[in-house]
Structure 1
Amino acid sequence: MNPEMPWPALHASHSGVWIATPEGESRGLSRGEAIRLAADTPVILLNAPLVGQRLGHPELSGLDLLELYAFLRPARFVVPTPRGLARAVDLSPPESDADVAPFLREAAASLLAMAEGEWPEKEGAWTALQSLGRLRWPWAPALTPRIRKPERHERWLFSRLPEWEEGATRPPPRPVVIPPDEVRDRLARLTGTGAEVRQGQRDYAAAATHAFSPRDRRDEPNMVLAEAGTGIGKTLGYLAPASLWAEQAGGAVWVSTFTKALQRQLGHEGERIFPYAGERRRRIVTRKGRENYLCLLNLEDALQGGFAGRAAILAQLVARWAAYSADGDMIGGDLPGWLPTLFRRNGSTALTDRRGECIYAGCPHYRKCFIERAARASADADIVIANHALVMVNAARGREMNSRPTRYVFDEGHHLFDAADAMFAAALTGQEAIELRRWIIGPESKARGRRRGLAARLSDVASYDEEGARAISQAVDSARHLPSDQWLQRLNEGEPFGPIESLLAAVRGLTYARAADAADAGYGLETELAEPDAALVEAAGPAGEALESLLRPLIALGRRLEAVLEEAPDWMDGPARARIEGAIASLQWRRDTVTAWLALIGRIGGPANEDFVDWLAVDRFEGREYDIGLHRHWLDPMQPFAQTVLKPAHGVMVTSATLRAGGDWDVAEARSGAAQLASPADHFAAPSPFDYATQSEVLIVTDVKRGDMAALANAYARLIVASGGGTLGLFTAIRRLRAVHARIADRLAREGLPLLAQHVDPIDTGTLVDIFRDDPRASLLGTDALRDGVDVPGDSLRLVVMEGVPWPKPTVLHAARRLAYGGKEYDDRIIRARLAQAFGRLIRRAGDKGTFVLLSAAMPSRLLGAFPEATPVERVTLDEALARVQLSSEARMRHEGGPVTATREP
C-alpha cells in the first residue's frame, strides 16, 4: 500500500462500476457494493454527483478530483472527464472504463505532488486551506502537510484584487465616414496574410459599413439587416468596419449576442484586432447582467459564516477562483461551469446579485467590485461584447446614460424577438411579489445573512430627510400586503393571507377550471384572461388598492432621493452620491414593475388592450406547483424595443444565418424592429459557401410512429451506433428526452459509446458541450438550448437527429400572435427557423460532413425551404437511414485510416 495514497478510487459509467485499491488491485463490482464502499471509506471520485447518479445514490460524496483541481488551479479550464483531466495533469488517458479507476489514483498523486512545490496559483492556498480544514473538506488532511505556511503574509482575495479608477466622461463619438478601401484593408489584416479571399465576406463587410455612417435624422438610425449563411465569416465581416469606426470616431460599438458561446468566440476573434493582451483587455470588454458576476459582499458574508456545510466549502473554492479570475463572471466566464454543480445548488446563486439589493458605494468592496469594473471598462472600450438582454435592460432602465452606445451590432439577430418578448413582459406572480416584499422589508426571520431592506440600505437618508424616512416606513408597511413565506402552502390549503394572495388563489381556481389540459399533472396550466369569474373580479379590487398603497411611497421616496442629491448635504461624499444614484435606479425598476402589475389588474373585468396578450397561469414541474400568477406580453415586443433601443441609436446592424426564417425580408423587418422605423433598412444576403450537396444530406424517416416511445428510443440508439457516436439528439420535450435516455444509455455504453444528456446529467449545459466536443465517440441529447447555441466543428458532431417537426407549443400567447400574423404561415416561419438552426449545427467548417435525420413522417414539403438550397433531401425508412449513416461512418473511418468495421449497427 502507498501510505501517501491510502484511498481507493471509484469509477462508474453506464457500462459498469470499477474500483482500484491502494494495494494495486483493480476490479469490477456491483452498484450495491460500490455504495457500501463509498459510505464506509473515503474514495477518490471524478465528479461525485455524476458518479452518484450512475450508482442510483445522488448523495454520494468523497474525494472529488474536480474539487482538488479547482483549489489548485483556480480559473483554469479542464474538461471534467478522465481524458480531459489527463490532458490537464500531463498523464496518458485511460483507454477503457476499466482503466479509469487506477488512473484516478494516478491523477490524485500527480495533483498532490504539485501542491508540494511552487505553482502559479499558490498564493492564498495556505490561508484558504486553514478554513477548508475547519470545514472538514475531504482533501484538507492530504493537502495540509504538503502546503507549508508562507514566510510572509499571503495576499489573499480582497487584498489581491485591483481597484478600478474613475475617469473623465468620454466625449461623444465624432461623425466619420469610413472609406470602403480602408474596410477592405482592415478585413484583409484581420483574416491574415495569405488567407483565401472570400468575396461574400468582403461584400458583407461593405454592407455592414452603412451602420457606421452618420445618421441624417433623429430617431432614424442607419439600419442594416444582413443574412449571412454559415461560413461567410460574418464575425470578422462586421468587426472590420466596427473597429475602424471605433478607432476614428472615438466611440464604442456594442456587439450583442444571444449565446455565451458566441461571446467567447468574439473574445477569441479580438486577438486578431489587438494581438497584445494588455491592449486587448483595455479595448475589448465583455459585459453581462449583474446577476452573472460574483458579488464580493455576498462572498464575504458566506466566508464569515453565512454559509454552512457543503455551501461553505463552495464559497472557499469560489474565493480561490475570484483571486485569479479575469472578470469575476460566474456564468460562462472562467469559473468552471462544473464547479457549482458539484455542490447541488448549495449556494452558488446566493453569491451573485440576483435580487437588486446592491448598496453600490456603501459596499466596502465597491472599488474592487467586478460589476463596477466591467461597467467602467466598457465606457472606454472600442468593442463591448454584450448580450441582447443587457442591451435592453440598460436602455429601458436608463442606467449609464453618459456612456449610452450609438452603434450596435446584434449578432444572432433571429433571437432578438424572443429576447425583447422576455424583457418587456410583466408577471404578477407569487414568486415575483415575494421578492419585492423581501427587497423592501428585508429579513423577517433570525436567519443569518446580509440581506437588508430599504430602511437599512438608506439609513443615512432616513436620518437626514424626514419625508424620505416617512416614505420608507410607508413602503415597508404596504409591502406587508404582499405574499410571504409559505404562500403556496396556504393557497393549497385554501387559506390565503392578504389581498395579493387572495388574488392568486382566485387565479389558481379559474386556471384549473378552464385550462384544457388540467388533467395533466406534469406541466404548467394557463388560460386566457377573458370573461373572468366573480371570484377573480372580487379579488382584483383589494389587490389593486394594496399595490396603489405601495406605489405611492415608492414614488415619493424616489423624489426625495433626487432632492437629496440636489441639496448635496455635507455628509454626501462621492461614494454616498453613487449609492443614492444606484438606489434611485433600483427604485425606478420596482416602480415600473408595480405600475405594470396595476395595469394587469385593471384588465380584470375591464376592456382588452389590443397591444397586449394577457393570461393566467399555474406553473408546475413534474406535478409540483412552484408559481401562480397573471402574465402580460406585448403582442409585438419589437414596438418597445424600437422605442428604447433602436430609435436613440445612430446605427444598427442585425445579422444572422437565418434572419428571414426561410421567408422574405418582411419577416426580418418585423422580427428585428426595422418595420417600426420611418426610414427603410438596408438589406444584404449572402448564401453559405459550403458545398451542402456533397457535405450533407437530410433524411426524413417515415416509419417511426409518433408517440411510440420504444420505437423512438430504438431509432436513436441504432442511429448513434451506426454513426459511432458524434451525434447531437434534439428533442422538443424534456419528458421524451428523459424517457429515451433511460432506454438507451446502458445499451450504448456496452458499445463503448458515451451518452450525455441535458436535464438528466447533473452537469451544466456548457460543460456538456465541452465534453461532447472533446470526445468524437460521445453523443449528446438536449432541447432548445442545444439547437441554437452549439458550435462543434469537426468530427465530434457528424449526425444530428431530431425527434420530430418542432411545432410551436399551443400557448395563449402563440395563439394570439398566430391569429394576428398570418395563421398557418406564422407557424411555418417559426418551424423553418428552428429547423434551419438545428441543421446549422451540422456543418460549421469547410471540411465538415454530416447527416441530418428527422424522425417524422409528418414533415410537410412546404417546410423543406428551411434547409440550404442544394442540400439533398430524401424520405426514407429507418433501415435505409441506418444504411446511409453506416456508409458515411465507414467512409470517415477509411479516410482516417481506422478499422472500417469499428462500429456495426446491431
Structure 2
Amino acid sequence: MKAEERISARACGKIREAIADAEGNEVVLAAWLDGEGTVERVEVVSRGDVESAPAVLRQLERVDVVIHNHPSGVLAPSKADLAVAGILGEEGVGFYIVDNEVRHVYVVVEPLPERPLTPLPEEELAALLSPGGPFSAMPHYEYREGQVGLLREVVRAFNDDGILVAEAGTGIGKSYAYLIPALLWGTNNEERVVVSTATITLQQQLVEKDIPYVQKVLGTRVKVTLVKGRQNYLCRHRLAEVLEEGAEDLFTDPDLLKALADWAVSTPTGDRADIPFHVPDEVWGQVCSEAELCMGLRCPDRERCFVLRVRKEAAASRLLVVNHHLLFSDLSMRMEGRGFDTAAVLPGFSRLILDEAHNLEDSASSFFSQVLSPEGVLRVLRRIHSRGRRGAKGVLRRLEKTLGGLEQAGEWIADLNRIAERTEALRGVWLALLPEEGTVRMDGDAVSRCAPGFESLFALQEEILGFLGEVDRLMKSLDEAMKDHPVVQEFLLHVRRLRDVARFCQAYRDRADAEQVYWVERVRRTRGEPSFRLVITPLDPGALLREHLYEAVKTLVFTSATLTVGGSFTFWEETVGLVGMGDRLRERAFPSPFPYEEHVLLSVPTDAPPPEDAGYQAYLSSLLKEVLVLSEGHALVLFTSYRMLEDTYRDVAPVLLDHKLLVLKQGEDERSRLLSRFKEIPASILFGTESFWEGVDVPGEALQLVVLCRLPFRVPSHPVLQARVERLAAEGKSPFYHRQLPEAIMRFKQGFGRLMRRTTDRGVVLVTDSRIVSRSYGRLFLSSIPRTRLAVTHTEGVLREMERFLYPG
C-alpha cells in the first residue's frame, strides 16, 4: 500500500526527517489521526539500530497509531513486531511499518476509530442517592447532602476531562459517590477507570462490599479486577531454578519445597494469599515474581505465567482497584521507558480516582527515588553465581551449559567475588561514617566527612565496569540466534541490574542534579544486623507527577478526609504539583455529617508545660495515669516520637496494670494484630507513633478517648524535608508557615479523625500540648477540624469535664 493512502504528506516528511536523524536506523514513532483517519501528527519515541528499536509501550498506549520503519525495505512484520502489535492492538492502537523513504506502508493492525463518549447524566445519578432513590433501601440509609454533592462533582470531572480535588469528611460515604460514576462510565464508554487506595482495608471494602452492592443496585456488570503487586504471585521459572539447584540452601523444612511445588501445579491463581499453609517471607522471596528478574517474552514459562494471567484479566476489565504502591510502580516504569520485555504494571487507563490522597507527596517521593543497598547488590551477584552445598548455582552455571562451555567463567567468578568483597567493604566503610541513628544529607561538610565512603563507592563502580566490559566483549562474539536464547537473556537481565548499580554510583558521586536530594541512612537488615542505603530523591515530585500523570490522564479525582489547612487546598496542591492547572482543576470541600458538637469533647489543659520543657514528660505521665484510669481504657494514645512513647510506657504501664488495664504498644507485635487485640479487649490502651495517626478504624465503645501528646510538627532533620525547607527559604518564603505548620495541621487532623468513625460514636480528644491555645498559630489547628464541645482549662477542670462527658447522669 502506498504510504500516502494512510499518512499525510506533512507526516511523511516528518518520518523521513526522523529516520535521517537516526542515520537510517529503526525509529519508533507515536502517531495521531485526523478526522478522516489519516496520520497527521507524529512524534519520535525511540531509536535503535538497523534491526530493532525499543517499543516503549507505556508511552504508546494512548496514541492512535505506532509507526516504525524497516531499513531493509522488507515490510513483513517480524515475530517481535507481531507481539508488540498484539499488545497495542488490545488497547485499540494501530501498528504500521514503513520503508526508509516512506513510500510504502504495511498495516499490521488497524486503529480502532474513536468512538464518541456518552456523558454521565448528573441529575439521574444524583437522584440515585437521594430519598426515594434505589440506594435509600440500604440498611441504615441516611441522606447525605455532601455525598450527593461529591457525586455531582465526580460526574463533572468525568464529563469535562477535569481534575477534582475533594475533601470529604468522615461519614460522607465517598466510595459510593465515586463508584457510581466510575462503574457507569465503564458501562457506557470504552475507557478504563482505576481506583487507587492507600490501605488494604479500603481495597477489600471496595472489592468485597461496595462495588458488588453498587453493581447490584445499578444493574451493571462491569468487569472489575483487584490488581496486586507481582511479588504476591509465584514465578514458575524461579521455582524451577530452586528445584533444580537444590533446596537445602533455602529451606529448613524439606517438605515445604515439595508442598510449594505441588501447590504450583494445582493453583489457578499463584497468589500467595491462596496458599493453604504458611510460607516464611525469606522463602517466598526466593520464588515470587519480581520485575527486575522478569524475562518477559523470552521466559520459557510465559504461557503459564500467573502475573501475565492477572494482567490479561486486568486488560479485559473496565475498573481496576489498586493501591498507591502499585500505581506508582506503574508510573515509575513508564517514566523509565521500560518496554514489553519487562512489562508495565497496569494496562493503559484514562480515568483515575485516587482515594486517601493526603500522602500523595510521600508516595511519589518514595517511588521516584533511586536506592543502592549492599543487600541489593549482593542479591544480584548471588543470582548470577553462588556456591551451595551441591556446588555452583545461578544463571552463570546455566549459561556455561547453554554455550557448551565458557572459557571466561573462572575469571568472571573471580570478578564477581571481588565485586562482592567491594560491596561488603562498602558497607563497613559507610557504617563507620554514619551516626547510630538517623540520616545524613550529602552536601557541604558531610561530603568531606564521608570521603572514604565515596572512595569505596568508586572502587565498587570500577570493579563492576570491568566485569561489564568483559561481558560486552562476549556478547559481541555471539550470533543473533544465541543472543536471543532464554538463558542468555536471563543472564543479561542480571547484568543490566549491575549496569544500573554502576550508573547509580556515578550519579551519587557526581551529585550534579540540583533537583535531586542525595542522602544516606542507617538501616537494619531482616535479622537485625546494621546496614545502610544510599538514596537519590527528587526535590519536587510534584513536577514529575504533573508531567507524567496529570497531563496523561483525562480525569483525575483526588479525595481524602484531610486535604485542607484552614479551609485552603493550597498547601497540598503545592506539594503534589497541582497549582497552575487552570480551569481543568476544581476544588470542593464536603464537611463530615457527624454530630461532633454533641458527641465529641475537645480537651486542652492550659497549665500543661510546653513540650520542650524539662518537666513535660513527668506531667504527661502523671496526667495519663489519671486520664486512662478515668476512661477505663478504651484509649488510643498518639506520640510523635518512639522515645517519648517508651518513656511514657515505662512510667504508666505498671499503674494501669494495677487497675487491670492492658497497655499495648507499637513495636511489640505486628500492627494489624495490635489493632485486633485493641478492638477485642475493651479495657485496653494502645500506644502508637507516626503510623497510628492514620488508618486506624475502631468504631464503637472500643475507642472513646484519643490523646494527642504533642502537636505533630516534623523537625526538618530528614534530608529531603531539609532540602525542601531550604528551597522555600531561598524563594523568600517562611518554611514554618509554608511547610512545617500546614504539614502538622494535616497530620493533626488525621489523629483527631481516629475518634469518630460512625455517626453514633462518642468520646474525648485530649490534646496535652498547650501550644494549641497559647500560640497564635493554634487557631489554624482548631479551625481545621469540626466544631466540638470544648474543655480548655486547667488540668483539674479538664478531668472533671471529661468525667461528666464520659459518664453523663
TM-score by length of 1: 0.64
Query: Per the alignment, do residues 553 and 348 of structure 1 end up closer, same or farther by CA in structure 2, a change over 3 Å counting?
Result: closer
- Aligned partner of 1:82 in structure 2 is none
Would you say the 8 A contact 1:294–1:328 is kept in 2? yes
- Secondary structure at the residue paired with 2:514? coil
Within 5 A, what are the aligned runs for 1:148-163?
none
Q: CA deviation at 1:174?
A: 4.8
How far apart are residue 776 of structure 1 and its match?
3.3
- C-alpha change, 1:843 and 1:375, in structure 2 (3 Å) is same
| Cα distance in 2 between the residues matched to 1:562 and 1:721 | 76
Q: Is it true that 1:730 corresponds to 2:638 in the alignment?
A: yes
| Structure 2 residue 777 is matched with structure 1 residue 862 | yes
Aligned to 1:200: 146
RMSD: 4.7
Comparing 582-591 with 741-750, which one deviates more in the overlay?
582-591
The question of 1:225 aligning with 2:165 is answered yes
2:123 aligns to what? 181
Tell me the residue number matched to 1:598.
506
Structure 2 counterparts to residues 531-570 of structure 1, below 5 A:
531=445, 536-537=450-451, 540=454, 543-544=457-458, 546-547=460-461, 550=464
Choose which of 420, 436, 443 in structure 2 pairs with 1:529: 443
Q: Is the 8 A contact 2:634 2:702 kept in 1?
A: yes
Which deviates more from structure 2 when the two are superposed, residues 294-303 or residues 856-865?
294-303
Q: Given the alignment, which residue of 350, 354, 358 partners 1:414?
A: 358
Establish whether residue 757 from structure 1 lines up as the match of residue 665 from structure 2: yes
- Count of residues paired in the alignment: 672
Structure 2 counterpart of 1:669, one-letter code: E
Is the 1:223–1:653 Cα contact (8 Å) retained in structure 2? yes
**1:449-468 to 2 correspondences below 5 Å:** 452-453=394-395, 455=396, 463=403
- Over 3 Å counting, the alpha-carbon distance change for 1:803 and 1:470 in structure 2 is farther
Matched, 1:823 2:735: yes
Q: 1:507 to 1:308 in 2, by over 3 A?
A: closer
Who is 2:74 aligned against? Answer: none
Pick closer, same or farther for the CA change 1:325–1:827 going to 2, 3 Å.
farther
2:288 matches 1:376: no
CA contact (8 A) 1:230 1:688 kept: yes
Q: Name 2:332's counterpart in structure 1.
A: 396
Q: CA deviation digits over 1:554-591, x for unaligned, max 9?
A: 799899999999x789997xxx6xx9999988877765
Map 1:84-123; keep pairs closer than 5 Å.
Answer: none
Equivalent in the alignment of 1:797? 703
**C-alpha displacement of 1:418:** 0.1
Aligned-residue offset at 1:302? 8.3
User: Which of the numbers 132, 137, 159 marks the counterpart of 1:213?
Assistant: 159
C-alpha deviation, 1:602, in angstroms: 1.1
* 1:253 equivalent among 188, 193, 205: 193
SS at match of 1:845: coil
The Cα shift of 1:780 comes to 2.1
Aligned mates of 1:828, 1:590 — CA distance in 2 = 42
Task: Identify the match of residue 841 of structure 1 among 754, 758, 762.
Answer: 754
Measure the CA separation in 2 of the matches of 1:187 and 1:582.
54
Unaligned runs of 5+ in 2: 1-86, 94-113, 335-342, 729-733
How far the C-alpha of 1:377 sits from its partner, in A, is 1.9
Report how far residue 297 of structure 1 moved.
6.5
Residue of structure 2 in register with 1:720 after alignment: 628
Specify whether residues 507 and 816 from structure 1 end up closer, same or farther in structure 2 by C-alpha distance, changes over 3 A only: same
Cα displacement (A) at 1:393: 1.4
Look up the equivalent residue of 1:202 and give its one-letter code.
V
CA contact (8 A) 1:298 1:450 kept: no
Q: Is the 8 A contact 1:721 1:748 kept in 2?
A: yes
Q: Structure 1 residues 198 and 804 mapped into 2: Cα distance closer, same or farther (>3 Å)? A: same
Aligned to 1:11: none
Q: 1:400 to 1:527 in 2, by over 3 A?
A: closer
Amino acid of the structure 1 residue aligned with 2:178: Y
Rounded to whole Å, the distance in 1 between the matches of 2:553 and 2:517 is 28
- Between the aligned partners of 1:204 and 1:471, the Cα distance in structure 2 is 65
Per the alignment, residue 272 of structure 1 pairs with: 213
State how far apart, in whole Å, the 2-side matches of 1:355 and 1:878 are: 56
2:74 is the counterpart of 1:169: no
CA contact (8 A) 2:465 2:502 kept: yes
CA contact (8 A) 1:191 1:236 kept: no
Distance in 1, Cα, partners of 2:149 & 2:617: 48
1:869 is displaced (CA, Å) by 3.9
Partner of 2:176: 236
Question: 1:614: which partner in 2?
Answer: 518
Separation in structure 2 between the aligned mates of residue 791 and residue 555 of structure 1, nearest angstrom:
55
Does residue 698 of structure 1 match 2:602? Answer: yes
Question: For the Cα contact (< 8 Å) 1:529–1:616, is it kept in 2?
Answer: no
Which shows bigger deviation, 239-248 or 543-552? 543-552
After TM superposition, the structure 1 = structure 2 runs for residues 635-674 of structure 1, keeping only pairs within 5 Å, are: 635-662=539-566, 664-674=568-578
The 2-side partners of 1:409 and 1:459 are apart by: 50
The 10-residue stretch of structure 1 (841-850 or 634-643) with the greater mean CA deviation from structure 2: 634-643
The Cα shift of 1:621 comes to: 9.7
Given that 2:168 and 2:590 are in contact with CA atoms closer than 8 Å, whether structure 1 keeps it comes out as yes
**In structure 1, the residue corresponding to 2:589 is in which secondary structure?**
strand
SS in 1 for 2:326: helix
Are the structure 2 counterparts of residues 501 and 334 from structure 1 closer, same or farther at C-alpha, using a change threshold of 3 Å? closer
Distance 1:722 1:210 in 2: 50
Amino acid at match of 2:780: G
Deviation at 1:477, TM superposition (A): 7.0
Aligned partner of 2:101 in structure 1 is none
How far apart are the structure 2 equivalents of 1:448 and 1:676? 62
Superposed displacement of residue 614, structure 1 = 2.0
Which secondary structure does the structure 2 equivalent of 1:627 belong to? Answer: strand
Amino acid at match of 1:819: E
Distance in structure 1 (CA, Å) of the matches to 2:344 and 2:213:
29
Which whole-Å deviations, capped at 9, do the CAs of 1:172-196 have from their partners, x for residues lacking one? 7855222313433565677443643
In structure 2, what is the Cα distance between the partners aligned to 1:701 and 1:471? 75
Which whole-Å deviations, capped at 9, do the CAs of 1:758-782 have from their partners, x for residues lacking one? 2013xx2123223323343333222
Displacement of 1:352 in angstroms is: 4.0
Match of 1:688 in 2: 592
Q: How far does the alpha carbon of each residue in 1:355-413 deviate from its partner, in whole angstroms, 9 at most, with x for none?
A: 84455678787666543333222222222111112112112214338822221111111
Alpha-carbon distance between aligned partners in 2 of 1:786 and 1:167, rounded to the nearest angstrom:
43
Contact 1:562 1:584 in 2 (8 A): no
Name the counterpart of 1:433: 377
Q: Which range is displaced more, 538-547 or 381-390?
A: 538-547
Aligned residues of 1:298 and 1:352 also touching (Cα < 8 A): yes
State the Cα distance separating 1:827 from its structure 2 match.
0.5
Q: Give runs of aligned pairs for residues 70-85 of structure 1, distance below 5 A.
A: none
CA contact (8 A) 2:154 2:164 kept: yes
One-letter amino acid of the counterpart of residue 817, structure 1 = R
Checking the alignment, whether the CA contact within 8 Å between 2:483 and 2:489 is kept in structure 1 is no
Q: Which runs of 5+ in 1 are unaligned?
A: 1-165, 216-221, 485-496, 513-517, 895-906
Is 2:758 the counterpart of 1:812? no
Letter in 2 for 1:241: P
SS at match of 2:371: strand
User: How far has the Cα of 1:833 moved from its partner?
Assistant: 0.9
CA distance in structure 1 between the partners assigned to 2:408 and 2:548 by the alignment: 30
Q: Are 2:187 and 2:220, in contact at CA under 8 Å, matched by a contact in 1?
A: no
SS across alignment from 1:381: coil
Q: Identify which range, 256-265 or 526-535, moves more after superposition.
A: 526-535
Distance 1:228 1:407 in 2: 20
Question: 2 CA distance for matches of 1:719 and 1:317?
Answer: 52
Are 1:776 and 2:682 an aligned pair?
yes
How far did residue 798 of structure 1 move? Answer: 1.7
> d(CA) in 2 for partners of 1:256 and 1:630?
29
TM-aligned CA distance change 1:401 to 1:384, over 3 Å: closer
Query: 1:103-147 CA distances to partner (integer Å, 9 max, x unpaired)?
Result: xxxxxxxxxxxxxxxxxxxxxxxxxxxxxxxxxxxxxxxxxxxxx
| Helix, strand or coil at the partner of 2:679 | helix
Structure 1 residues 553 and 655: CA distance shift in structure 2, 3 A: farther
Q: Which amino acid aligns with 1:823?
A: P
- Please tell me whether residue 387 in structure 1 is matched to residue 323 in structure 2: yes
Correspondence 1:478-493 to 2 at 5 A? 480-482=417-419, 484=420
